[in-house]
Chain A
């Protein structure tokens, strides 16, 4: 039997809430036996906070649902999971064995599970904020938990609901709201309130901050920390984000292909990993506090869960692996006090420390040197949408009532040829609208977007002597718009949605060639498709021609999307959150691909993201947007290292970093992003800015230029902001 991770200190101090012993879970499917968890041993004590990290498919959620006693009918279980001494999953009662139980036994088991769920262990499921019933108010949905599990009266339920919603950091008025009336962050807090309702000893939060903006994420982390502090609740945090896990857990378990690869105190595991997989995982994604080093991702893919297992499962992707790793299965051993690792050579990793020095930035990533040749120039671009979605809306909206959304408002930027220009900001700040306006998927309400063609085009198409196209002025179906469609391409956020599942990879990549009538010769088209696939490292391309999107991994799909964009050799690509749907181990690979594409073809990229670390890694310059307005712009390193605008400072502080100094309460921002309908007359950020003064309310802020290419939109210089900050500190 393998060693429990927390036996060293907690056995004396606390009561075991969850005990997992030699737990192996396999699923019987038509394709064979899928091994989801293997020999997992874990004891969770009262008040324990444990983080579980790992790639997709590593078994994190399966482990969590097993603790809740939710084992699928086609599963086979070895070992057991006990919650407060009661077995909730074992060989005799779970999965396929459940069918063989007598009706009375099933009834007893159901009652036991109903009593355990929510009262002893509750769970915040992944994406559960979108699982609220849209037809019921939040009060009714939280009240359901009390109605099913307690015998409280309606009045008592109402009081309890108010208590839990306030404990989750929300106002009680939220109870009367329907889910669609709440923002993502509020919905997530309402789900947490639901999980807290019966005061369970353990809360399992499965990716509690995934899909939320950094500011909201920081607030959710703050609420969860407060709950840990005040109510001494045990927590299991499942996430792929090491920053989130490090902030919310004292211990961390690293899962890979269903096996625990490493476990130990969070800071130790982060700073000194004792397993190559943990090391690779930590290195596969850039973080704000680490230097801007070249990331390599984790090569290869996770092992096929249907295949027979032999040796270390990570051996195929591990740089340290030798014959022993491929043939002998390593045991989870205690390498140092409280540190367990499943590696034959874990001792060799002692002493390897993760670097975390911001001063070492620019070490390996090549700096882009622009030739001062502009490819795109935006002059006072505005994109307003009127609020008239229904006939009634069309009829009753008053023109003088300013019922329009200022999605992009008076934006002027210049993008240099060959640079990667990043646009960052929260959801609703107008990033995607800006991208759509630039590629003329939307007509700008006003302003100019000038596209400077390359010299080659100017010669080829002699009638455009100046070589400049005003994108906002060209007519639909004109030659210019066709040219623009050819030379500017898009890569969308979700590769699972942006590729037609009924088309083969060849057809997907060949489609732009047909649409633009580039060639009618199938051999030439085949060469072009092959080259595009090779460029994005899908080699040999012939192996991918006949495959469909469901036969590809997430990373491969996004590469196919990239090759579709590249096949016409565009000059300009808009990438709208291209890595947000990719697994953490694949992100570095795709980001490197973007850098490689720029280096090889000189492509200009407009990179849209709300992930600041990835923006820092790939972008040369950044524009920070807030409610349709550019708040700050400059070289990415300048913006990240010396942010000037209060909004940029707040955004950067909101990114959770694996450091004990990080405190979500230090995020200097008020509330959540509003809508772009009722915007303040003065500074857009006025309502959320802690530095706000009376001038900010009514007077639009001037552009303050600091150094070359670095500006911010604010009434105050940095000295004045520091003085205001000191004044605020004194007051508080």
Chain B
């Protein structure tokens, strides 16, 4: 078929794009939570004048970081239901290479979550340092 290579390259490009989108979809919730926590700290301080958040928040962020990292390590990111769908709905067989690819993607997601965990810790340290200026 004449355009097979061109079509496959288009499809491959769309696959890469959708993998990026998939990763971002899973990474979004903990990032949004982090932003919400940071914003709430400043809102409580600037609007209500409650400065204690600056002393409590680093601890909360550190605990959250551990939770996020553990969540990333334990959660399968929908791999099980995806495999089940492939087998039951699309009647596809799962090869060894498929499983390696899925494990690789899971590992990447876990690393992303660990990275996000470090972002939490970094934010906690930043707030801790900031609190010493405020107080």
In the bound assembly, the distance between CA atoms of A391 and B92 in angstroms comes to 19
Query: Does B19 contact A181, Cβ atoms closer than 8 Å?
Result: no
Name the A residues within 8 Å of B2 (CB-CB). Answer: 380, 410
Q: Taking the nearest CB of chain B, how far is it from the CB of A681, in angstroms? A: 11
Query: Does A395 contact B22, Cβ atoms closer than 8 Å?
Result: yes
Name the B residues within 8 Å of A387 (CB-CB). Answer: 90
Q: Is B101 interfacial (CB 8 A cutoff)?
A: yes
- Chain A residue nearest in CB terms to B80: A392
Q: Is B132 interfacial (CB 8 A cutoff)?
A: no
Query: Does B12 contact A399, Cβ atoms closer than 8 Å?
Result: yes
In the bound assembly, the distance between CA atoms of A398 and B101 in angstroms comes to 7
Q: Is A445 interfacial (CB 8 A cutoff)?
A: yes
Query: Does A181 contact B85, Cβ atoms closer than 8 Å?
Result: no
Name the B residues within 8 Å of A380 (CB-CB). Answer: 1-3
Name the B residues within 8 Å of A403 (CB-CB). Answer: 92
B43-84 interface mask toward A, CB cutoff 8 Å, 1 = contact, 0 = none? 000000000000000000000000000000000011101100
Contact among A398, A446, A677 with B3 in the assembled complex (CB-CB below 8 Å): A446
Tally of B interface residues using CB under 8 Å: 35
Name the A residues within 8 Å of B91 (CB-CB). Answer: 675, 678
Query: Does A392 contact B1, Cβ atoms closer than 8 Å?
Result: no
Query: Does A395 contact B23, Cβ atoms closer than 8 Å?
Result: yes
Name the B residues within 8 Å of A392 (CB-CB). Answer: 22, 77-79, 81-82
Query: Does B11 contact A404, Cβ atoms closer than 8 Å?
Result: yes
In the bound assembly, the distance between CA atoms of A395 and B23 in angstroms comes to 7
Name the B residues within 8 Å of A384 (CB-CB). Answer: 7, 11
In the bound assembly, the distance between CA atoms of A56 and B78 in angstroms comes to 47
Name the B residues within 8 Å of A398 (CB-CB). Answer: 15, 97-98, 101
Query: Does A446 contact B6, Cβ atoms closer than 8 Å?
Result: yes
Q: Is B133 interfacial (CB 8 A cutoff)?
A: no
A391-B22, A397-B15, A445-B11 known; A382+B105 contact, CB < 8 A: no
Does more than half of chain A's interface fall in helix, strand or loop, or is it mixed?
A: mixed
Q: Is B40 interfacial (CB 8 A cutoff)?
A: no
- Chain B residue nearest in CB terms to A395: B22
A394-B19, A445-B7, A678-B92 known; A410+B26 contact, CB < 8 A: no
Query: Does B90 contact A677, Cβ atoms closer than 8 Å?
Result: yes
A394-B19, A395-B19, A395-B105 known; A445+B90 contact, CB < 8 A: no
Name the B residues within 8 Å of A445 (CB-CB). Answer: 7, 10-11
Contact among B3, B14, B22, B88 with A382 in the assembled complex (CB-CB below 8 Å): B3
In the bound assembly, the distance between CA atoms of A636 and B9 in angstroms comes to 38
Q: Is A401 interfacial (CB 8 A cutoff)?
A: yes
Query: Does B88 contact A181, Cβ atoms closer than 8 Å?
Result: yes
Q: Is B32 interfacial (CB 8 A cutoff)?
A: no
In the bound assembly, the distance between CA atoms of A180 and B90 in angstroms comes to 12
In the bound assembly, the distance between CA atoms of A397 and B101 in angstroms comes to 8
Q: Is A386 interfacial (CB 8 A cutoff)?
A: yes
Q: Is A555 interfacial (CB 8 A cutoff)?
A: no
- Chain B residue nearest in CB terms to A384: B11
Query: Does A396 contact B102, Cβ atoms closer than 8 Å?
Result: yes
Nearest first, the 3 A-B pairs at minimum CB distance are A392-B78, A394-B22, A395-B22
Taking Cβ atoms with an 8 Å cutoff, the residues of A that contact B are 180-181, 380, 382, 384, 386-388, 390-401, 403-404, 410, 445-447, 675, 677-678, 700
Taking Cβ atoms with an 8 Å cutoff, the residues of B that contact A are 1-3, 6-7, 10-12, 14-16, 18-19, 21-23, 25-26, 77-79, 81-82, 85, 88-92, 97-98, 101-102, 105, 109
Starting from the known contacts A396-B105, A399-B12, 9 additional A-B residue pairs (CB-CB under 8 Å) come to A380-B1, A386-B11, A392-B77, A395-B26, A395-B78, A395-B82, A403-B92, A445-B7, A447-B3
